[in-house]
Amino acid sequence: MKSANNENKTVLYLLIASLGLQLLLLYFFKYQNQNLSIKNIDIEVTGNLFNLVTYLIAEILLIIVLLNPKIKTNLKLLSSLVVVSYLFLLIGFISTKIVLPFNSIYIFGQFGNKLFTGLCYTLYQLALFTFIFVMILGMNKNRKRIFSKSLFFAFILITIILIYSLFFIISREERVKLQPLNSRTTYTIVVLGAAVWSDNKPSPILAARVDKAIELLKNYNVGKLFLTGSNAPGELSEAEVALNYLKSKKILSEKIIIEKNTTSTTKQIQFLKSKLSEGEQKNLIVVSDSFHLVRIREISKFHKLKIITIASELELSFFSKFYNTLREALALTVFWFFAI
């Protein structure tokens, strides 16, 4: 009996150490995903704080079990979940560094490679949440179907986090819509890309963003105007379509620069951080939709990039607005937890 207790303690110590190492690995991967050094880490950033709290809960539960031998828990199941979480975490990170064969798939505005990466990271998080609920439910006398129950509660928790992200965006939209500008300041404007429709026509969302940029060009001192965004299969890039739209409005200027290689919002923020000079970053205006700007601000905080946000004036239908906000909530949650 004493030998069995010693073995259990050894496993618990290993689990505690494994989770501590996994947290450090996660932080390293997050900053690598954004082409940043781990030296830039800021624990107070929302996503990093969520990660820390999750692992602290898991570690505290393990320590409680370690200090109270009367609590019986399924160490084999816990060990298996840790192994599975490591596996998906590693596959998710590796998938960002190699060329996968899924980019011919294009769903909801995302290429297949990114969807695969997101799936791997989500399964990692699901395994970690399931681990926590196995620990919690294991403290009760009724341990029947503990894995299925824990998995169910893990799904519920993920749903709650998504709902929180949705309300986070809704509650902050008004704050990011329009910030005061100074007529004597020289600004750098960045218009983030959006969907392109058939025949390389800008979608209403993209056109409205460019319209807002035109308004800013006419009313304020603008040093440079960046149009960003790559393309879906068979289309001109979002940046090129935005440029053509500008030309159709008789807006021609040497200030306009197109960037047609970035494939996502996070890549566009990385571009701004790495390619713009300190002077250009100082008074940087990012133009997009209000539901999109909330996530943009969160990504910019991660990069320690100060931005001014200006929203387009497009009025969407209720269902279109809800769909786009829901997509943003999902994307924001993924960024918070994994920085992708």
Task: Tell me whether residue 52 is exposed, middle or buried, using C-beta atoms within 10 angstroms of its C-beta: 0 to 12, 13 to 18, 19 or more.
Answer: middle
CA distance linking residue 253 with residue 247, whole number of Å: 9
Q: Does domain 177-314 have CATH number 3.40.50.620?
A: yes
Unique residue bearing structure tokens 């975490």? 89
Query: 242-301 pLDDT, tens per residue?
Result: 999 999 998 877 889 999 888 889 999 999 998 888 888 889 999 999 999 999 999 999
Unique residue bearing structure tokens 């906000």? 325
pTM equals 0.91
CB 30 within 8 A of CB 47: yes
Residue 199 has pLDDT above 90, yes or no: no
Task: Tell me whether residue 43 is exposed, middle or buried, using C-beta atoms within 10 angstroms of its C-beta: 0 to 12, 13 to 18, 19 or more.
Answer: exposed
Query: 43-53 pLDDT, tens per residue?
Result: 999 999 999 99
Query: 130-149 pLDDT, tens per residue?
Result: 999 999 998 876 678 999 99
> Residue 85 has which token pair?
């979480």
Query: 4-50 pLDDT, tens per residue?
Result: 677 789 999 999 999 999 999 999 999 999 999 999 999 999 999 99
Element (H, E) at 287: strand 284-288
CA distance linking residue 165 with residue 279, whole number of Å: 33
> Residue 21 has which token pair?
């190492």
Identify the pLDDT of residue 8: 87
**What is the SS3 assignment for 235?**
coil
